[in-house]
């Protein structure tokens, strides 16, 4: 006796499965394949995955490191006290020369997608969960550029911002934007800030409220500030840092959905490194900056990488290893000391994005 389940019941069952299982089930029949690859199902699956009450203990961190003899290493780590490895990823989007190149960098990650720069104007958008990637076309201008990756929630679109400082004109910038939905670059024109604020777009920006944010020294207001680019309106803006901040080293982070600012002083033989952590409680309101913690330690670090759900901040140490600092107890825990040079760490959610993308390449 055969049992027939209504389509709505099948939909509710499938949307609860992980991407690896869904790819297998897409081979069951044409109707399931069509459903699983549809934009509506992919968006619904992602929305359910990123719900806070659906995360439980399944938080994943994407760790990218380099090793002298093997090149780039991509892996997922559990966000648990052991920082244990979930799986090692296989990349087929780069040849051997590109994979081992020192200039391969992670631009950012969002909703299961990873944006990678493979060198001079070579960009890839990669979803390791579904083993698919998109090769971006050549940009409009040929200058060496800075990149930022983000999500436009209004149009359900993923975008890459590309900015260059014009030769001989440090106060002027040229910007263009690539859209996954459009599949091409669009020029945003040439602008001027009087101080060339795009020259500092080097660290990974923090994606908050559909906008990417990064620290910029000497902004148009004559002080250190936070520059931002809104992925929906495709416009630039500027926000001041807290007025009482005196430390020169700064980095934007995301903390519980809010824009955060980490400021610190470098450690020396006689003076420990000190940190202040600020959070903008109300987005866009400069008066809402609130100091959450201050902490100190004596380790020599290069820069912060990620703010964990446990409240710990992960730093990259000299030598490439990672340490985790509990900002409340000031206790230090070493996460990796295996000789690999770790340079990127951020939260990752497994998704189906790119599964139904016609221009995506499977491997």
Over residues 305-318, the pLDDT tens digits come to: 888 888 888 988 87
Residue 321 has pLDDT above 90, yes or no: no
pLDDT at 145: 82
Share of the chain above pLDDT 70, in %: 83
**For residues 325-333, average pLDDT:** 82
Domain ranges of the chain: 7-50, 60-362
Over residues 117-141, the pLDDT tens digits come to: 887 788 999 999 999 999 999 998 8
Query: CA 145 to CA 67: how far, in whole Å?
Result: 26
> Domain 60-362 adopts which CATH fold?
Neuraminidase (2.120.10)
pLDDT at 25: 92
Residues contacting residue 195 through CB under 8 Å, at least 6 positions apart:
171, 218, 219, 220
Would you say the pTM of this structure is higher than 0.85? yes
Query: CA 360 to CA 105: how far, in whole Å?
Result: 21
Asked if residues 162 and 143 have their Cβ atoms less than 8 Å apart, the reply is: no
Residues contacting residue 348 through CB under 8 Å, at least 6 positions apart:
60, 61, 62, 76, 109, 112, 114
Residues contacting residue 276 through CB under 8 Å, at least 6 positions apart:
245, 247, 262, 263, 264, 291, 293, 294
Residue 160 has pLDDT above 90, yes or no: yes
Residues contacting residue 338 through CB under 8 Å, at least 6 positions apart:
321
pLDDT at 30: 92
Over residues 86-115, the pLDDT tens digits come to: 888 877 766 655 555 556 789 999 999 999
* Residue closest to 252 by CA, chosen among 228, 286, 235, 232: 228
Flag the least confident range among 56-70, 86-100, 145-159.
86-100
pLDDT at 338: 73
Q: How far apart are the first and last CA of the chain?
A: 40
Q: What is the sign of the dihedral through the CA atoms of 93, 98, 102 and 107?
A: negative
Residue 199 has pLDDT above 60, yes or no: no
Residues contacting residue 188 through CB under 8 Å, at least 6 positions apart:
175, 176, 177, 234
Phi-psi region of 70 (alpha: psi -120 to 50; beta: other; left: phi over 0): alpha
pLDDT at 203: 65
pLDDT at 170: 64
Residue 1 has pLDDT above 50, yes or no: no
């Amino acid at each position: 006796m055969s049992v027939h389940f209504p389509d709505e019941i099948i939909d509710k069952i499938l949307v609860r499965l992980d991407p690896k299982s869904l790819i297998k089930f897409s081979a069951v029949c044409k109707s399931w394949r069509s459903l699983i690859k549809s934009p509506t199902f992919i968006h619904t699956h992602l929305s359910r995955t990123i719900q806070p009450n659906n995360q439980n203990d399944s938080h994943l961190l994407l760790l990218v490191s380099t090793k002298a003899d093997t090149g780039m290493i991509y892996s997922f780590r559990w966000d648990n006290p052991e920082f244990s490895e979930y799986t090692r990823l296989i990349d087929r989007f780069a040849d051997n020369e590109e994979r081992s190149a020192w200039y391969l960098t992670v631009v950012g990650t969002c909703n299961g997608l990873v944006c990678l720069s493979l060198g001079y104007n070579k960009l890839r958008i990669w979803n390791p969960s579904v083993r698919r990637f998109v090769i971006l076309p050549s940009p409009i201008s040929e200058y060496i550029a800075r990149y930022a990756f983000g999500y436009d929630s209004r149009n359900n679109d993923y975008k890459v911002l590309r900015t260059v400082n014009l030769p001989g004109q440090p106060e002027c910038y040229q910007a263009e934007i690539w859209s996954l939905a459009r599949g091409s670059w669009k020029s945003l024109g040439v602008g001027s800030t009087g101080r060339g604020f795009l020259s500092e777009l080097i660290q990974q920006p923090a994606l908050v409220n559909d906008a990417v944010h990064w620290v910029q020294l000497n902004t148009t207001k004559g002080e250190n500030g936070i520059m931002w680019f809104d992925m929906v309106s495709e416009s630039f803006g500027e926000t001041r840092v807290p007025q009482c901040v005196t430390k020169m080293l700064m980095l934007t982070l995301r903390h519980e959905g809010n824009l955060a600012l980490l400021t610190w002083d470098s450690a020396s033989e006689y003076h420990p490194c000190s940190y202040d952590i600020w959070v903008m409680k109300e987005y866009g309101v400069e008066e809402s900056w609130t100091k959450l913690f201050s902490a100190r330690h004596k380790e020599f670090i290069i820069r912060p990488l990620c703010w964990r759900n446990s409240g710990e901040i992960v730093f990259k140490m000299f030598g490439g290893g990672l340490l985790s600092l509990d900002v409340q107890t000031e206790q230090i825990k070493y996460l990796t000391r295996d000789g690999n040079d770790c340079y990127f760490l951020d939260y990752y959610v497994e998704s189906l994005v790119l599964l139904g993308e016609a221009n995506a390449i499977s491997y």
